[in-house]
Amino acid sequence: MRIDLSREQYLTLVKLLQLGNWPLGLTEANQELVSKAEDLEQYIFSLSRDFEAGEGIYYDEEEEYYYLSEDLRDTVEVIIDEYEENVFWDQLTHKLATIELKREVTIEASIEQKINRLFQLKARYEKYFLENGLDKIDIL
């Protein structure tokens, strides 16, 4: 099988590999998959000259390893930073709403009532943090 890619498609694939491998590198869940993903990434990076994308990827002779150029790395990091920011706020509001829900809901409440209340509480926290950020939060 052969896959033909344009230069632009190749660079998109490179970015997607970085984005996909980033969370894998932060976990210990499946080291075999981490290793296979890194090997695939290195192989794809090694083809950069074939796609006239050599300025986007460079090879470190000493480490025998391919890296993204600063420009490509910055592009990927902006996406990761935005994702992490969104996940942070979503997780924070969800966890706070869940804690509050556990304090106030009785066993007799239906699943639907619990879910509706969770969404109400989450929306309240989202509004609060949108208006105040973390400035008014005091933790022991």
Q: Mind listing the pLDDT tens digit for each residue in 22-36?
A: 888 777 778 888 889
pLDDT of residue 90 exceeding 90: yes
Alpha carbon of 42 to those of 49, 71, 78, 121, 131: distances in Å?
13, 18, 22, 45, 44
pTM of the model: 0.78
Q: From CA 21, how far away is CA 28, in angstroms rounded?
A: 13
Instruction: Return the pLDDT at 106.
Output: 77
Q: Give Cβ neighbours of residue 71 (< 8 Å, ≥ 6 apart).
A: 56
